[in-house]
């Protein structure tokens, strides 16, 4: 998923999605910080929740290395998890994120992937509006479905009030604010995300941090950052095809080293 911005984040085009979800997204956005949706009274038996959580963990491991096979398998596991435990908000949030990847990796038609993603995201929010994973995923979904960066920012600020040091929430905030052109605040958010991440997550965030600097037109910084990062981590499995950037002071484009082009999508994934 790419955060939308025109023109600040023109590097990542996003195909227009059906607008059916926009009124619902606006309703959710209006309620953020004021009211919370009603939650079902029924609670799954401990055994069902434990099994559902096991399936969610299994799916998360698959999604860490996304491909046609792993994304399809993860969706299958998450559908099973949500069927076994209809009250598992995190399972629905993970399912929403997996459907978001299904378009890219499993060739699912964009309208179908978008509808499934939004359905699972709003179901998760209805189940638990105070869960950080749920709110982070909802913010991603709102950007794509409603093109509302202000709403996404409000959702993420709510999540940060709950978990101030959460690296995924702070990283998502940095991308939203960068897409709005608020780079000063966005760089503070990015710093906070990296500082509070564990070593594995920190490397992922560092590989994705170039996006914010790219939005800020700091092309020289991006080139130097990825050259140093890839040199220090030659065996990093997250390497992706490089980006092309304008050369500083020169017409034309320069290819970044392999590994510089990974979007932030999976770094801040719930």
The tens digit of pLDDT for each residue in 35-44 reads 444 455 456 6
Does 26 score more than 80 pLDDT? no
Could you report the per-residue pLDDT of 137-183, keeping only the tens digit for each?
999 999 988 888 999 999 999 999 999 999 999 999 999 999 999 99
DSSP classification of residue 245: E
DSSP classification of residue 243: P
pLDDT at 238: 54
Could you tell me what percent of the chain has a pLDDT over 70? 72
Residue 261's pLDDT band (cuts 50, 70, 90): very low
Tell me how far apart the alpha carbons of residues 93 and 71 are, in angstroms, rounded to a whole number: 15
Of 136-150, 161-175, 191-205, 227-241, where does mean pLDDT reach its minimum? 227-241
Tell me how far apart the alpha carbons of residues 125 and 37 are, in angstroms, rounded to a whole number: 8
Question: For residues 260 and 222, is the Cβ–Cβ distance under 8 A?
Answer: yes
Residue 47's pLDDT band (cuts 50, 70, 90): confident
Does 53 score more than 90 pLDDT? yes
Residue 242's pLDDT band (cuts 50, 70, 90): very low
Please, which residues bridge with residue 244 across strands?
255
Higher pLDDT, 5 or 266: 266
Q: Mean per-residue pLDDT for 99-114?
A: 94
Tell me how far apart the alpha carbons of residues 180 and 76 are, in angstroms, rounded to a whole number: 36
pLDDT at 39: 53
Domains of the chain (ranges, CATH numbers): 18-29+46-146 (1.25.40.10), 164-270 (1.25.40)
For 154-180, give one letter per residue: b (16+ CB within 10 A) or e.
bbbbbbbeebeebbbbbbbbbbbbbbb
Phi then psi dihedrals of residue 30, to 5 deg: -65, -30
Could you report the per-residue pLDDT of 110-123, keeping only the tens digit for each?
999 999 999 999 99
The DSSP string of 110-130 is HHHHHHHHHHHHHHHHHH-TT
Q: Mean per-residue pLDDT for 78-97?
A: 96
Tell me how far apart the alpha carbons of residues 24 and 84 are, in angstroms, rounded to a whole number: 27
pLDDT at 264: 37
Tell me how far apart the alpha carbons of residues 182 and 202 are, in angstroms, rounded to a whole number: 23
Q: Mean per-residue pLDDT for 45-49?
A: 86
Residue whose C-alpha is closest to residue 2's, from 41, 10, 36, 33: 10
pLDDT at 193: 97
Exposure on the CB side of residue 91, measured as CA atoms within 13 A: 24
């Amino acid at each position: 998923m790419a955060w939308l911005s025109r023109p600040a984040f023109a590097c990542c085009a996003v195909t227009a999605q059906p607008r059916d979800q926009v009124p619902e997204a606006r309703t959710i956005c209006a309620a953020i910080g004021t009211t919370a949706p009603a939650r079902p009274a029924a609670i799954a038996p401990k055994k069902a929740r434990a099994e559902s959580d096991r399936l969610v963990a299994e799916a998360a491991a698959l999604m860490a290395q996304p491909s046609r096979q792993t994304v399809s398998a993860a969706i299958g596991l998450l559908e099973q998890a949500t069927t076994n435990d209809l009250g598992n908000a995190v399972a629905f949030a993970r399912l929403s994120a997996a459907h978001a990847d299904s378009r890219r990796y499993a060739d699912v038609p964009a309208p179908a992937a978008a509808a499934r993603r939004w359905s699972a995201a709003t179901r998760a929010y209805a189940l638990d509006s105070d869960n950080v994973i749920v709110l982070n995923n909802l913010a991603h979904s709102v950007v794509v479905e409603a093109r509302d960066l202000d709403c996404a920012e409000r959702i993420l600020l709510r999540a940060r009030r709950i978990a101030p040091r959460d690296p995924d929430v702070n990283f998502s905030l940095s991308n939203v604010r960068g897409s709005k052109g608020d780079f000063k605040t966005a760089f503070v958010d990015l710093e906070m995300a990296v500082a509070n991440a564990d070593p594995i997550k920190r490397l992922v965030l560092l590989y994705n941090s170039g996006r914010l600097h790219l939005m800020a037109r700091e092309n020289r910084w991006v080139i130097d950052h990825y050259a140093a990062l890839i040199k220090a981590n030659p065996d990093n499995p997250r390497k992706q095809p490089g980006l092309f950037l304008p050369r500083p002071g020169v017409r034309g484009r320069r290819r970044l080293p392999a590994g510089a082009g990974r979007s932030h999508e999976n770094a801040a994934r719930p």
